[in-house]
């Protein structure tokens, strides 16, 4: 993922300059990334980990941040995903050649869904509730796995009703969005059940707060986002072993080896060549 924002939880402000963002994307591709997911508005949810969460970003500002980067990368032949809940931003990015639309709203906006359908984009439907806050009714589940799967299936139905082809729809369990750390772990453990719905699955646990909550340092202090790679590797391996088709990460180089080993184990378990 490539965050061209000043306030993303992990790398906010690092890649606000177009040249620096493009250089980082090139390094990601060289390290093994198949797709670069460009986002111009932080989606960090409200809750204990991130306080009030991310402020809303107007579409014109989101476009100013993302569109030059999308155009440059597409021009260099890079497969690009646009991470947005704005139909205006999605329209411009997909029109500029982005191939994927990453929607963290769980298909809440029919206009956005129709934009995905118009361009024939691969559409990533991420589970969340409301604004994703890790608080209140958003995190009340009788059974987090069955309810997330059911709500994702409802999202698939909405997307199809708006013209998105079923074979273009990816599912993302939304680790950390409207979920406690324990609920996020439960969903990671149930990746195979999500894969069993028949859609390709994308999982994005990289550097998230559930890792710090699950594995504080021995002295009780909480590792910051940049110190969560070992926990990220464990979560990535669990997702791949559960049948995830794709993984979204911050540090491609650091994650590549663990992903390849996990993929090899998954293939060996299935009795096929990696």
- The pair of structure tokens assigned to 210 is 């559930």
Q: Angle at the Cα of 174 (from 94 to 73), degrees rounded to 5?
A: 30
User: Quick one: how far is CA 45 from the chain centroid?
Assistant: 13
- Asked if 2 and 24 touch (Cβ cutoff 8 Å), the reply is yes
Q: What is the pTM of this model?
A: 0.92
H/E stretch holding 170 reads strand 169-172
Q: What is the pLDDT of residues 86-108, one digit of tens each?
A: 999 999 999 999 999 999 999 99
Q: Is 248 in the active site?
A: yes
Q: Angle at the Cα of 96 (from 90 to 98), degrees rounded to 5?
A: 65
Q: Where are the domains of the chain?
A: 2-204
Q: Which of 208, 217, 228, 269 is catalytic?
A: 208
Q: Which of 44, 129, 168, 248 is catalytic?
A: 248
Whole-Å CA distances, 110 to 18, 24, 86, 154: 31, 33, 11, 13
CATH of segment(s) 2-204: 3.20.20.20
- The pair of structure tokens assigned to 71 is 């155009």
- The pair of structure tokens assigned to 227 is 């110190």
Q: What is the pLDDT of residues 125-168, one digit of tens each?
A: 999 998 899 999 999 999 999 999 999 999 999 999 999 999 99
Q: Is 44 in the active site?
A: no
């Amino acid at each position: 993922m490539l965050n061209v924002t000043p306030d993303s939880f992990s790398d906010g402000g690092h890649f606000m300059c177009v040249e620096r963002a493009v250089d980082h994307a090139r390094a990601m591709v060289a390290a093994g990334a198949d797709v670069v997911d460009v986002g111009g508005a932080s989606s960090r949810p409200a809750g204990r980990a991130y306080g009030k969460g991310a402020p809303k970003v107007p579409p014109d500002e989101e476009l100013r941040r993302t569109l030059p980067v999308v155009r440059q990368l597409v021009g260099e032949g890079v497969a690009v995903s646009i991470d947005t809940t704005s139909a205006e931003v999605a329209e411009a990015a997909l029109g500029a050649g982005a191939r994927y639309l990453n929607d963290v709203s769980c298909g809440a906006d029919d206009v956005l869904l129709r934009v995905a359908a118009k361009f024939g984009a691969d559409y990533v439907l991420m589970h969340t509730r409301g604004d994703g806050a890790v608080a209140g009714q958003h995190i009340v589940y009788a059974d987090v796995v069955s309810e997330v799967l059911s709500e994702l299936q409802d999202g698939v139905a909405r997307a199809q009703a708006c013209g998105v082809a079923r074979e273009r729809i990816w599912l993302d369990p939304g680790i950390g969005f409207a979920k406690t750390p324990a609920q996020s772990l439960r969903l990671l453990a149930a990746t195979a059940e999500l894969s069993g719905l028949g859609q390709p699955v994308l999982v994005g646990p990289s550097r998230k707060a559930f890792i710090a909550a699950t594995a504080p340092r021995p002295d009780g202090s909480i590792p910051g986002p940049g110190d969560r790679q070992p926990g990220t590797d464990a979560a990535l391996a669990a997702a791949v072993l559960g049948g995830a088709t794709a993984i979204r990460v911050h540090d491609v180089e650091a994650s590549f080896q663990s992903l390849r080993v996990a993929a090899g184990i998954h293939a060996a378990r299935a009795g096929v060549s990696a």
